[in-house]
Structure 1
Amino acid sequence: MRIQPFSKTCVALLVLFSAGCNSKPTDQASSSSNQTETKDVHAHPSEGPHHGTLVELGNEEYHGEVVHDDKSVTVYVLDSGAGKNVPIDASEVTINLLHDGTPEQFKLLASPEEGDPSGKASRFTLADADLAGHIDDTSSAPKLMLTIGGTAYRGEIKHDHGHDHEGHDHAGHDH
């Protein structure tokens, strides 16, 4: 009788499927899916505390915030959340850019904020109208370079033309 083994197999499969459909998910499966959702929902800061352009340094380990008017440029070194200043052991940071196809390098000197520890700075400045006038030019491809704790970081300065441009004008710039 071949029908009997077939019937037993069908009944066994039916029992397995029925048990699987009525089982509740375990807490472990539920919490791991919540962890995945948390990792996928990652807010990227869009503006720094000084209302400047943010520059990602490393894998968002740090941020640089570039603020300028038509005469000077200031860079603030910020934490991974781009909310707090991070004083670093450096006397300068560098901005490299192209001006009419020619590479130029600008050194911004340490200008410690009140509260920065002695010998460290979270703010770097340079009064240079040439740098200030070309930092927003997309063809200049400006990059911020600095060293934090012995590790060199480099990030692209991408000016967001979608925000309000208070604090600096763009006369003579292509937008």
Structure 2
Amino acid sequence: MKSKTISVLTVAAVAFFIGCSPEITAPVEPAPATNTQNPDGHDHGHDHSAAGPHDGALIGLGGEAFHLEWLHDESGKLTFFLLDDHAKSDVTTTAANITITTTLKEETVTVKIPSVDPTAAEHNQFQITDAVLLQRLEMVGHGVTARTTVLIKDTPYTGEFEHDHGDGHSH
């Protein structure tokens, strides 16, 4: 009789644990918080998940004193526009290029992106076709970090690329 009782209890316990175990699901990544206010408390009227005036992704430069908007196509052509503190209007610089530095594990690569018109006195748009750089920028947040530096009025302004869920590219 003891063996029947033990068998019944074993079957009941197994059924209980199988039938009552919680459903296993993949963890849901929380949506990143967006903060459109500067530390001084005023609203810039944008967030970096929103598209810029050219429909690209936004990067704050130097504590949001300026912005860099970037977009790309499937060929690997990357285009960057220098914008004001509100990320609404184009601004210019005398620098004929911007730099992007990407780091994957221990490998750091810096690429200079030239102005679309290197002979002009003032520059606002920078462009390069570089499939490897594009691939690295698309991997930001997945083992790759990237930052850009733009020289404006002899002052370097730096901004970090953020993980992008598909914005900033044209199809």
Same fold (TM over 0.5): yes
Letter in 1 for 2:130: D
Aligned residues with identical type, % of pairs: 30
What SS class does the counterpart of residue 141 from structure 1 fall into? strand
Q: For the Cα contact (< 8 Å) 1:72–1:128, is it kept in 2?
A: yes
Within 5 Å, give how 1:72-91 maps onto structure 2.
Answer: 72-91=77-96
Structure 1: where are the runs of 5+ without partners?
1-38, 169-175
Corresponding residue number in structure 1 for 2:54: 50
Greater Rg by CA: 1
RMSD (CA atoms): 2.3
Q: For the Cα contact (< 8 Å) 2:51–2:168, is it kept in 1?
A: no
Within 5 Å, give how 1:61-140 maps onto structure 2.
Answer: 61-70=65-74, 71-112=76-117, 118-137=120-139, 138=141, 139-140=143-144
Letter in 1 for 2:107: T
| Among candidates 167, 170, 173, match of residue 170 of structure 2 | 167
Distance 1:159 1:77 in 2: 20
Q: For the Cα contact (< 8 Å) 2:59–2:67, is it kept in 1?
A: yes
Distance 1:150 1:133, change over 3 A: same
Q: For the Cα contact (< 8 Å) 1:72–1:131, is it kept in 2?
A: no
Measured against aligned partners, the alpha-carbon deviations of 1:11-43 in whole angstroms (never above 9, x if no partner) come to xxxxxxxxxxxxxxxxxxxxxxxxxxxx55552
Distance 1:100 1:40, change over 3 A: closer
Letter in 2 for 1:136: E
Structure 2: where are the runs of 5+ without partners?
1-40
Q: How many residues align?
A: 126
> Hey, which of these two has a bigger chunk of helix by percent?
1
